[in-house]
Structure 1
């Protein structure tokens, strides 16, 4: 069906605008971390929010207030999980990935690369984008929890203490 009624179009325009404004208000209430770089857990909540917004827009059986309460529930649950994960290690482990070491002192960590489905070409691209010409100039490449690569090079034989929480790194054994 191409067109049902002008009433349906007007409903989508009015309810869609109000639902969108409510979503923006909810996100502003929960702070910057709600829209920061996301991990897989955050992505699921984002998809659920999008689905809820679409239901409000396109389903006449879902009232605006019900949809706004649904979005608020999802956002507040996300906020509660984020707040708790900062304070409880077991919650953080349950909902967040751990950064993974993919290269150490110019040598790729092939097993970790296989587990994370990363190619050497992707490592070289990360090194280039960090402004380095060779892999040997780099102390480490880390696959971060949000899927980005961090290229670490101390240049001065530093301690690499920023790698302390990275899977596959044992700082004391590697470098002091």
Structure 2
């Protein structure tokens, strides 16, 4: 339980840096989109990459080559799905969510219920954005990446400043 063998530790010391370098190389080739948090699908790919890296490091039954291939397949699938979602609306709807307006001059009960967001969470988002209360807030939107955006009304400029 506390220690199995020196060879297992040696494998981790050799495979760990190599797997890390392979992950960095795969991510550099694939671009910034692979680690973005634009939507739930991107988050799933990021978590799967981490899980694959951990498996390569800790499971002696998974070879280094299998792990690198696994990383490559995940990035390739992410690329194919993101490109397909640009081309076909049905794919985009399947993998991406739409922003949801939760507050606009008052709480919108239906959208909040469907998004499973409480009034307290909306108030907390306003406070986190530096607002004492919702009186200063024009709208709150649940974004596709799960964050709450707080929008404030832009004050109109006086006639002399226009």
* Distance in structure 2 (CA, Å) of the matches to 1:8 and 1:55: 13
In structure 1, distance between residues paired with 2:44 and 2:74:
10
User: What does the per-residue CA deviation read over 1:105-138, in whole Å, with 9 as the maximum and x for residues that have no partner?
Assistant: x210011111112111111122222233332332
Give the corresponding residue for 1:107: 106
How large is the RMSD of aligned CA atoms in angstroms?
1.7
Cα 1:2–1:135 shift into 2, 3 Å? closer
Structure 1 residue ranges, 4+ long, deviating more than 3 angstroms after superposition:
none
- Which structure 2 segments of 5+ residues have no match? 157-162
TM-score scaled by length of structure 1: 0.80
Distance (Å, rounded) in 2 between the aligned partners of 1:35 and 1:44: 10
* Shift of residue 156, structure 1, vs aligned partner: 4.6
With the length of structure 2 as denominator, give the TM-score of the two structures. Answer: 0.87
Q: Secondary structure at the match of 2:4?
A: coil
Number of equivalences: 156
Q: Give the C-alpha shift of residue 47 in structure 1.
A: 2.5
